[in-house]
């Protein structure tokens, strides 16, 4: 099997480190690994399997010889380096929102639209973490029953805001338990024993940019104009995003029919045991690859609608795993 020189831009962040773990777990054919980060992190050493690799400073001329570049250092960094990386021969798989809605950039969840990779021009976008887990479930249901409308409320873990946000959750929890007022520095409001009813910046329509990302990205990935409305909430959970989803279909659909479709969907696990109260929960699925679905039931207010509960590890399927799966699909389709 051919092996590749792989680069990780943003190698010292939560997603960058998870990409390294997943590449090892899935035995990705790495010939050489290069770790890139800001000047502040350059010179530090990280492990990759049995190797100790020195982190390099990301510069416009540092990408020569890299076959696949995973970028997870933030949108502004991706915008700064994308063209240089492509010009130096990389295929860049970008985990930021910088290029997702650019018409000539494929936005890919491999279980859903791997065929879109054939149109890449050196740059491929990874979707928003909440969108990724959602569309894995929506795609087979849309193909089988026809979706008319999607309404989703997300309950997003603080790891989606980075390592410092996770530390803030732990610090604030200690402050509250000690009878102190929690201090918010990373997130816009205290998160310990609380929730923040918005994520991102507000737009003129009253939605946040995080919510509109889900609307636009879902349509692009499904390649269907399915009306989608999202409400995104930050919750005091370290890792694992949850979603309460209401789906309106073209026809009446039973919960059993939905379960049957999802049980045969790659990347999906149905946990819907009412008798024993066994449903997906973020603590239980953290560190796991699949998208978990439960609480599948009829919408008592609409004969052609149903409710679902979807949970996934946002650092894995929502980011790092999906990016690695994109690279694997490039190899399978002989697009590298």
Residue of 9, 23, 55 whose CA lies nearest to 331: 23
SS3 of 13-26: CHHHHHHHHHHHHC
Cα(242)–Cα(251) distance, integer angstroms: 26
What is the SS3 assignment for 217? helix
Q: CB–CB of 316/241 below 8 Å?
A: no
- CB-based contacts of 326, cutoff 8 Å, min separation 6: 93, 108, 110, 117, 124, 126
Among candidate residues 120, 129, 142, 232, the one labeled active-site is: 129
- Supply the DSSP symbol for 319: I
Set 241, 264, 278, 302: catalytic member: 241
Residues 31 and 33: their CA atoms lie apart, in Å, by: 7
Among 157, 186, 164, 166, CA closest to 318: 157
What three-state secondary structure class fits 71?
Answer: strand
Contact 196, 172 (CB under 8 A): no
User: Is 62 annotated in the active site?
Assistant: no
Helix ranges (H only) for 34-90 are 75-87
Annotation says 142 is catalytic = no
Taking phi over 0 as left and psi of -120 to 50 as alpha, with beta for the rest, 11 belongs to: alpha
**Which residue from 305, 280, 307 is spatially nearest to 294, judged by alpha carbons?**
280
CA dist list (Å): 3 to 27, 28, 49, 122, 291: 11, 8, 16, 19, 29
Q: Active-site positions?
A: 129, 241
């Amino acid at each position: 099997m051919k092996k590749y020189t792989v680069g990780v831009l943003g190698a010292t962040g939560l997603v960058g480190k998870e990409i390294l773990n997943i590449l090892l777990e899935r035995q990705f054919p790495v010939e050489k690994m290069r770790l890139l980060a800001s000047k502040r992190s350059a010179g530090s050493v990280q492990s990759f399997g049995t190797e100790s690799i020195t982190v390099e400073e990301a510069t416009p001329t540092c990408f020569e010889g890299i076959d696949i570049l995973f970028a997870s250092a933030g949108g502004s960094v991706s915008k700064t380096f994308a063209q240089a990386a492509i010009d130096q021969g990389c295929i860049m798989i970008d985990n930021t929102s910088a290029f997702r809605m650019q018409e000539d950039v494929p936005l890919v969840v491999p279980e859903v639209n791997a065929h879109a990779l054939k149109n890449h021009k050196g740059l491929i976008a990874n979707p928003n973490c909440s969108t990724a887990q959602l569309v894995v479930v929506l795609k087979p249901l849309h193909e089988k029953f026809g979706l008319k409308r999607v309404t989703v409320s997300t309950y997003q873990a603080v790891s989606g805001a980075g390592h410092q946000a996770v530390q803030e959750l732990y610090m604030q929890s200690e402050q509250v338990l000690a009878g102190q007022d929690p201090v918010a520095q990373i997130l816009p409001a205290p998160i310990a024993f609380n929730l923040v009813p918005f994520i991102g910046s507000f737009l003129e329509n009253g939605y946040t940019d995080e919510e509109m990302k889900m609307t636009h990205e879902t349509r692009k990935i499904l390649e269907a104009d399915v009306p989608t409305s999202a409400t995104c909430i930050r919750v005091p959970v370290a890792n694992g995003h949850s979603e309460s989803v209401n789906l309106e279909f073209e026809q009446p659909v039973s919960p059993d029919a939905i379960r049957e479709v999802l049980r045969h969907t790659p990347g999906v696990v149905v946990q819907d045991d009412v008798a024993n109260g066994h449903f997906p929960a973020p603590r239980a699925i953290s560190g796991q690859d699949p998208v978990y679905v439960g609480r599948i039931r009829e919408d008592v207010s609409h004969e052609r609608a149903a409710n679902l509960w979807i949970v996934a590890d946002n650092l894995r399927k929502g980011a790092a795993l999906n990016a690695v799966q994109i690279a694997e699909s490039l190899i399978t389709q002989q697009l590298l």
